[in-house]
Structure 1
Amino acid sequence: MTSTAQKKQPVRVMIALLTPLFAALLSISSVMVAIPAIEVGLDADSSALQWVLSGYALAFGIALVPAGRAGDLWGRRGLYFTGVVAFGLTSLLAAVAVDPLMLNVARVLMGLGAGVLMPQIIGMIQELFEGPERGRAYGLMSTVIGLAVATGPLIGGFFVDLTPENIGWRLTFLVNVPIAVVVLVVALLWLPRPDPAPAHQASPRARSARELLRLDPVGLVLLSAGIVLVMLPFIQFRNLLGAALAAAGLLVLAGWTWWEKWLRNRDPDAPMVDLRLFTLPSYVLNSAVLSLYFTAMPPIWAMLTIYLQQGLGHGALLAGAMTLPSAAMILLFSAQVGKHTPRLGPKFLVAGTCISIFSTLGIGASVWLMSTDYGSLWWLGIVLGLNGLSQALIIPAAQTLSMQDVPAHMAGAAGGVAQTAQRIFTAMGLAFVTGIYFAVLAGSSHETAMMVSSAVISLMMTASLATALLAARRARQARRAHQQSDAEPERALSAGE
C-alpha cells in the first residue's frame, strides 16, 4: 500500500480499520447478556446456547491464520472488504434466525467473516505505520478492543431491557448491518489503495490453482483440525472424551509444525506460517503476556454478568452499565500508552499485570462487602475501573511490542497466530472459571461462587505477570546489547587516536 495517502489522513485510515473491529468484538461480549432472551425467544437448550457463544469464537480462531497468510500473499485490502461483507450479511442472518440451528450456523459464519477481517487490520497497521505512529495506532486499536469488550454488555443490555420481547436479542446482531454498510463506504473512500504488488504477492487476476497452493492447503487442514480439536473440550466435551480430543489436537498441531518446517526447507516462501517468527523473543514473549492475560480477563465479565443478573436479580441493562468504569479508563489511557510504548512498554506490562491481580482480588472483596452494611455497587465499579486501567496498560503495549520486529510481509500471519492463541486461551479460561463458579454455586451462594472465582482469576493473572517480568528483562538485555554495539565504533576510533 502507498503510505502517501495514509500520511495525509491517518485518522480516517484508523476509523476505516477499527470500526469493523469494534463490531466484530462487540458480537462476543454483547451476546452474553442476551443469552436468557435467546433461550426464551428460540426455546433453545443449554447446548445450543453454549454454541451461540462458542461457535463464533471457534470459527474466528480457525480463520485467523490462513486469512493472515492470504493477506500477506495477495494483498490485504480485498480480504478486508470480503471480511466486512461476510460479517454484515451473516449478522443479518443471525438477526432473522427462526430456530437455534439457524442462529448457530449464522454465528459460525459471522466468526469466519470476523476471522478474515482481523489479521488484515493488524497487517495494514504494521505496513502503514512506523515507530511512535505505529505504537499510537496499536494504542487506538487496543482502545477499540477494550471498549468493545467492556461496552458490549451495556449495549446488549440496552437492547434486551428496553425493547419488546424477542426483539432485543435480534438487535444485538442487526446493529452490525448498518455498521458494515458505513464501513464499506468509508473504507472505499479512505483506505489507501495498494502499490504495485511486490514479488511475494500475486495479482488477484493471477490467482491460478498454482497460486492457491501457496496458501499451503495441507498446513491449512492440519492447523484448522488442531484448533478445533483443542478448543472443542472447552466448548462441548468437558469429560474424558474431551481430554482425548485435546490430546489428539496437540498431536495434530505438532504435525502441523513438522509440516511447516519441512515445507520451508523445500521452499522458504511456501509455509503458511514462517516459523522463524518464534525465534523473535519480542514476538514470543509479548504475545504470551497477552494470551495469558486473555485467559483470565474475559471470564471476569462472564462471571460478573451471572452474579449481577442471577445472584442479585438486576436487569441486563444495569449489568451492562457496570462495565462503564472499565470502558472509561480504557478510553482515557490506551492511546497514550500506545504512544509511549516504544520507550516504556515493558514497564507498562509489569504495572498492568500487577494492577489486574489487585483489581480481581478487589472484585472478590467488593462482593464480600455486599453481605455487610458497607456493601455497594460503587465499590464494584471502582475495582472494575482498575481492571480497565490494567487493560489500557497491557493490551496496546503487548500488541505493539510483539509486532515491533516482525517484517511487514509476515504481519498478517503473525497477527493471525497471536490472535488464534488468544482465542484458544480465552476459551480455556472461560471454561475453567465458569466450571469453578457453577461447582461452587451447587453447594453455596452466588456471592461465594463469585469470591472463589475472583481468587482463581487472580492466581491465573500471576502467569501473565511472570511472563511480563521475563519480557521486561529480555527487553533490558536487548537494549544494553544494542547500546554496546553502538559504542563499539566509538571505542575503536578512540583506540586509533
Structure 2
Amino acid sequence: MTTSAQESPSDSPESTDSTEAGADPRRWLAFSVCLAAGFMVLLDGSMINVALPSVERSLDLTPTQVTWTVSGYILAFGLTLVTAGRLGDDHGRRKMFLIALVLFLISSVFCGASQNGTWLLISRIARGATAGLLNPQIVGLIQQMFSGKERGKAFGFYAATVGISTAVGPLIGGGIMELVGPSTGWRYVFYVSLPIGIATLVLATRLLPRQHVAREHAKLDLVGAALLGVAVVAIMLPVTQAGEAETEPSWWLLGVAAAGLAGFLAWERRLELGGRHPLVKLKLLKTRTYSAGALTGFCFFAAQPSIFVLCQIYFQRGMGYSPLQAAMATMSYAIGSAVAAVIGGRIVHLFGRWLIVGGSLVTTAGLGLTAMLAGSGTDGTTLPLAGALLLAGLGAGFVIAPNQTMVMSEIPRPEGGTAAGVYQTGLRVGSSIGVPLAMTLYFSTLQAHRGDVAVAVGRGLTATTAIFGVALLVSLTSVLLFGRQATSNEPPPTDRALASPSAR
C-alpha cells in the first residue's frame, strides 16, 4: 500500500492525531461542521440578490455602489482562495477555519450595521475575503478526513449543500424581507449568518481534527500571491464591468492578466527548481485528473450562475412574479442538483468520468429545453419550465460532486487546501465571465426586439446552453484521452511526488 502523507509526517508540515484520516470515528461529525460553514457562506451569496433593491433604497446607493456591493464580494472571494489554501496547508486547516469563521461573523455584523454605501462596500469586500479564506479549508478538511468511496460520498453531500443553500437562500431572504419589512429587513438578511456561525464555531473547536504543525513554517510566497492576484483581478474586473450600464469595460486589463499569469508561472517554477516553497506547486497542474476536472469545472460554472439570473428576470419581469414567487419557480433546478449530487458522490467510484459526461449531456438537454420554452413567450410555461429546470439540475448534480471528487482524487493530502483554492478560483473566474456575457446578450436582444423579455431571456439561455455544451465536450475528451479513471480506496499515490522540497 502506498504511504500517504498522513502516515509519514515528514512529508508535510502537519499530520492528524488519528492514525489514518478515514479511521477517525468522529470524522462524520466533523464533516457536518464543514457542511454548516459551507451552507452559511453560500446562503449569504444567494440571499443578497433578493435584499439588494431594499439596500439600494435604504442607503441611497448609486448604481456603481449597487454593482460593487456584489462584484466587490466576488473579486475579494476569488482573490483570496489560493493564498488561503496555502495558509491552511502550511499552518493547519483547523486553525485557519476558526480564524476565517470568526472574521466572517464580524464582517456580517458590519454589513448589517452599515449606515452608508461606502461602509457597506468595505464590509462586503471584507466579507468576500473572509469567505475566500474559509472555503478552501472546508474542501481541504474533506480531503484530509476521507479517502476512496467515503470521499466521494462526502463531496456528494457537500455539493448537495451547495444546491440546497442556493435554493433556500432566496426563500429565506424573501421571507425575512416580507416579515420584517423592506426598510430594515435587509439588515437581518446579513445577521442570519450569526446564529449559524456561532453554533458552527463552538462545534468546530470540539470536533475538527487537531493537527501537529511544525514549529518552523516556510515563508508565504508573497511575490507569487501578488502576481496571481493581479492576474485574477485583471481578468475579473473588465468582465464584471461589462455588466454595468454606465461603465466601459477595461478590456486592456486582459493583457495585464496574461502578463501577470506568465510572471506567476515563471516565478513559481523558479522557486520549485530552487528547492524553495512556492504558492502553487506546478506539478499539481500536470496531474491529468486535476487539470481535466478543473477545465470542466471552469466551463460548467461559466454557465450555471447565468441560469438563476436569467430565470429570475423571466419570472419577475416577464411573468410578473414577486421575488419570492420567482425563487420558488426556480427551486426545481437546485432541488434536482442537490438530490443528484448525493447519488453522484456515492456512485462516482463505479463510473468515473463517464458519470460527468452523462451529467453534462443531461444538463445541456434540460437547459436547451428551458431556453426553448422561455423564448416561446407563451402562457402556461411555468410548470414545463420547472420540469426542464429539474432535468438540468439533475444533470448538474451528476457533474459537480463527481467532478470535485475526480479533481481531488490524485492530490496528496498536504496539498489539499492549495488544490482546492486553485480549483475554486477557476470556478469563480468562470462565473465572472459567464454572467456578463449572458447579460450582454440579454440586453442587446432586449433592445433589438423592443423590450421582449421572453425572446431576450431565451437568447441568453441558448448561449448558456452552448457553454454547457463546451463543458460536455471537455469532459468527453478527457474520458477518451485519459480513460474513466474511477477513484480507488487507496490514499493518493502522488504524495511523495508533490511533497515539499524541504520535506524530501
Q: How big is the shift at 1:241?
A: 5.7
| Cross-structure match for 1:492 | none
| Cross-structure match for 1:80 | 97
2:66 is the counterpart of 1:66? no
Amino acid paired to 2:387: I
Amino acid paired to 2:446: L
Q: How big is the shift at 1:157?
A: 2.1
C-alpha distance after superposition, 1:198-257 (max 9, x if no partner): xxxx34xx5xxxx4x621011111111111111110222677761101211121111011
Amino acid paired to 1:406: I
| Cross-structure match for 1:320 | 327
| Cross-structure match for 1:465 | 472
| Cross-structure match for 1:355 | 362
Q: Is the 8 A contact 2:76 2:125 kept in 1?
A: yes
| Cross-structure match for 2:219 | 214
Q: Is the 8 A contact 1:299 1:429 kept in 2?
A: yes
Amino acid paired to 1:244: W
C-alpha distance after superposition, 1:128-165 (max 9, x if no partner): 11100011111111111122223322222222233312
2:347 is the counterpart of 1:340? yes
Superposition pairs of residues 405-484 of structure 1, within 5 angstroms:
405-444=410-449, 445-476=452-483
Closer, same or farther: CA 159–438 of 1 in aligned 2, 3 Å? farther
Q: How many residues align?
A: 464
Q: Is the 8 A contact 1:122 1:412 kept in 2?
A: yes
SS of 1:166 mapped into structure 2: helix
Distance in 1 (CA, whole Å) between partners of 2:377 and 2:100 is 45
C-alpha distance after superposition, 1:240-297 (max 9, x if no partner): 7611012111211110111000111111x51000000111110000111111100000
Superposition pairs of residues 194-209 of structure 1, within 5 angstroms:
194=211, 196-197=212-213, 202-203=214-215
| Cross-structure match for 2:269 | 261
Greater mean deviation of Cα atoms: 232-241 or 112-121: 232-241
| Cross-structure match for 2:338 | 331
Distance in 2 (CA, whole Å) between partners of 1:330 and 1:376 is 21
2:286 is the counterpart of 1:279? yes
Distance in 1 (CA, whole Å) between partners of 2:102 and 2:485 is 43
Distance in 1 (CA, whole Å) between partners of 2:381 and 2:484 is 46
| Cross-structure match for 2:398 | 393
Closer, same or farther: CA 355–237 of 1 in aligned 2, 3 Å? closer
SS of 1:23 mapped into structure 2: helix
Distance in 1 (CA, whole Å) between partners of 2:319 and 2:367 is 19
SS of 2:277 mapped into structure 1: coil
SS of 2:480 mapped into structure 1: helix
Q: Is the 8 A contact 2:100 2:131 kept in 1?
A: yes
Distance in 2 (CA, whole Å) between partners of 1:458 and 1:333 is 20
2:312 is the counterpart of 1:305? yes
What is the TM-score with the length of structure 2 in the denominator? Answer: 0.88
Distance in 2 (CA, whole Å) between partners of 1:171 and 1:301 is 23
SS of 1:271 mapped into structure 2: coil
SS of 1:192 mapped into structure 2: coil
Distance in 1 (CA, whole Å) between partners of 2:465 and 2:376 is 18
| Cross-structure match for 1:243 | 251
Of 170, 180, 187, 2:197 maps to 180
Distance in 2 (CA, whole Å) between partners of 1:447 and 1:161 is 28
| Cross-structure match for 2:24 | 7
SS of 2:140 mapped into structure 1: helix
Greater mean deviation of Cα atoms: 130-139 or 229-238: 229-238
Q: Is the 8 A contact 1:60 1:111 kept in 2?
A: yes
Distance in 2 (CA, whole Å) between partners of 1:443 and 1:161 is 36
Q: How big is the shift at 1:413?
A: 0.7
SS of 1:371 mapped into structure 2: coil
Amino acid paired to 1:9: R
Closer, same or farther: CA 478–396 of 1 in aligned 2, 3 Å? closer
Closer, same or farther: CA 438–163 of 1 in aligned 2, 3 Å? farther
Pairwise CA RMSD of aligned residues? Answer: 1.8
Amino acid paired to 1:329: G
Closer, same or farther: CA 387–241 of 1 in aligned 2, 3 Å? closer
Q: Is the 8 A contact 2:375 2:459 kept in 1?
A: no
Distance in 1 (CA, whole Å) between partners of 2:248 and 2:48 is 29
Q: Is the 8 A contact 1:160 1:316 kept in 2?
A: no
| Cross-structure match for 1:491 | none
Q: Is the 8 A contact 2:341 2:401 kept in 1?
A: yes
Q: How big is the shift at 1:370?
A: 4.4
Q: How big is the shift at 1:102?
A: 1.2
Distance in 1 (CA, whole Å) between partners of 2:100 and 2:309 is 27
Distance in 1 (CA, whole Å) between partners of 2:425 and 2:474 is 19
What is the TM-score with the length of structure 1 in the denominator? Answer: 0.89
2:171 is the counterpart of 1:154? yes
C-alpha distance after superposition, 1:367-389 (max 9, x if no partner): 245424xx231111111111221
2:142 is the counterpart of 1:142? no
Distance in 1 (CA, whole Å) between partners of 2:232 and 2:321 is 37
Q: Structure 2, unaligned stretches of length 5 or more?
A: 1-15, 487-504
Query: How much identity, in percent, do the aligned residues show?
Result: 31
Q: Structure 1, unaligned stretches of length 5 or more?
A: 480-497
Amino acid paired to 1:225: V
C-alpha distance after superposition, 1:46-83 (max 9, x if no partner): 21111111111111111100110111111111100011
Q: Is the 8 A contact 2:352 2:484 kept in 1?
A: no
Closer, same or farther: CA 293–416 of 1 in aligned 2, 3 Å? same
Q: Is the 8 A contact 2:27 2:145 kept in 1?
A: no
